[in-house]
Amino acid sequence: MTVRMEGWPEDAAAQKSFESREKPGPGTLYLVATPIGNLEDMTFRAVRTLREVDLIAAEDTRQSRKLLSHFEISKRLVSYHEHNKEASGPELIRLLGEGRNLALISDAGLPAISDPGAELVAEAVKHGIPVVPIPGANAALSALIVSGLPTDRFLFAGFPPRDRKGLKRLTEELRSEPGTLILYEAPHRLVKTLQSLSEPWGSRRVAVVRELTKRHEEVVRGTIRSVCAYLEAHPPLGECCIIIEGTQSAGGGEEGLEAGLGAASEVWWADLSVANHVERYEGEGHGRKEAMRLAARDRGCSRRDIYQALIQEENQ
């Protein structure tokens, strides 16, 4: 999703979120976090804000009505989602411009993360409308902190592409990323995505976190290859987060069978498949086992990893 940046201020403009206003002006857009599973995720401030605003914009009004009913909140509820944003967005900006206060909520967690709420925020900024966050539960960060992987540097990459070519392009773009990677994925696509990721990154550590804050919350940790095998035998349910170690913490292993000793883009074999890498050494007079050992040395992984990669490439 691309957020349009037309109207971004060229000169610095400060927003004083809680400054009292003496003159009439636009309303405030509140970005209100909602529970990601457990209703107790809801904060006191979120409940108060939803009770005080003039109207609430929701991704799924049917789901949101259940939440509002639970907390005895009676407010006008309007729909704002990916399929009606072109029509609904300008109307919400108009209401904000007239002085109405609006709360934006998503189905779960923080709004404007991997949803069209980001575009509404951009339009609000463009029109000089104050935007105020009401923090709360967030699946990506919750999964990160329980993963056991480094948290000092991370990259959120949203939902990965569904097609094989798109996934391959994503891994190529992120193969040298030093920070921990965070992805969202639907349960019915999880195994397929991990299978694609295991081809270049099979030995990287990963944590798959599902059903966060719910009764069946679960964290599956291991290498991408081993976690993929586990989930093939135990099909997952519920929305999932995939947390993958970056190159800064990966010690040994495949390093994506790409990064190896330093950034892959800086070594001669970076664009070669594993099979072509081994064949190059064989062409120099090395035996098969020695060629595999040399390729494993280049890529910072074991000869067994090279052997398994060769089998995978032959079966494709």
CA distances from 194 to 13, 70, 163, 181, 227 (A): 44, 37, 13, 13, 8
Pairing outcome for strands 205-210 and 240-244: antiparallel
The dotted CATH code for 29-137 is 3.40.1010.10
Q: What is the pLDDT of residue 147?
A: 95
CA distance 299 to 247: 13
**The pLDDT of residue 242 is above 70:** yes
**The pLDDT of residue 1 is above 60:** no
**The pLDDT of residue 296 is above 70:** yes
Q: What is the pLDDT of residue 38?
A: 93
**The pLDDT of residue 290 is above 90:** no
**The pLDDT of residue 271 is above 80:** no
CA distance 249 to 178: 7
Q: pTM of the full predicted structure?
A: 0.74
pLDDT band, very low/low/confident/very high, at 29 (cuts 50, 70, 90):
very high
CA distance 71 to 163: 41
Pairing outcome for strands 240-244 and 218-223: unpaired
- Segment 278-296 shows an average pLDDT of 85
> Mean pLDDT highest for which of 60-64, 173-177, 263-267?
60-64
The closest of 146, 187, 161, 173 to 246, measured between CA atoms, is 173
**The pLDDT of residue 219 is above 90:** yes
Q: What is the pLDDT of residue 299?
A: 75
Express as a percent the part of the chain with pLDDT over 90.
Answer: 53
Which CATH topology does 140-244 take?
Answer: 3.30.950
The closest of 225, 299, 293, 313 to 257, measured between CA atoms, is 299
Comparing 113 with 20, the larger pLDDT belongs to 113
CB-neighbour burial class of residue 98 (10 A; exposed 0-12, middle 13-18, buried 19+) = exposed
- Segment 173-182 shows an average pLDDT of 89
In a 3-state reduction of DSSP, which class is residue 84?
coil
Where do the structural domains in the chain lie, given as residue ranges?
29-137, 140-244, 268-315
CA distance 21 to 129: 13
**The pLDDT of residue 168 is above 60:** yes
Asked if 227 and 253 count as a contact pair (C-beta separation under 8 A), the reply is no
Tokens representing 116?
């069209």
The closest of 237, 194, 204, 233 to 218, measured between CA atoms, is 237
Torsion of CA 181, 185, 159, 84, to 10 degrees: -150
Asked if 50 and 56 count as a contact pair (C-beta separation under 8 A), the reply is yes
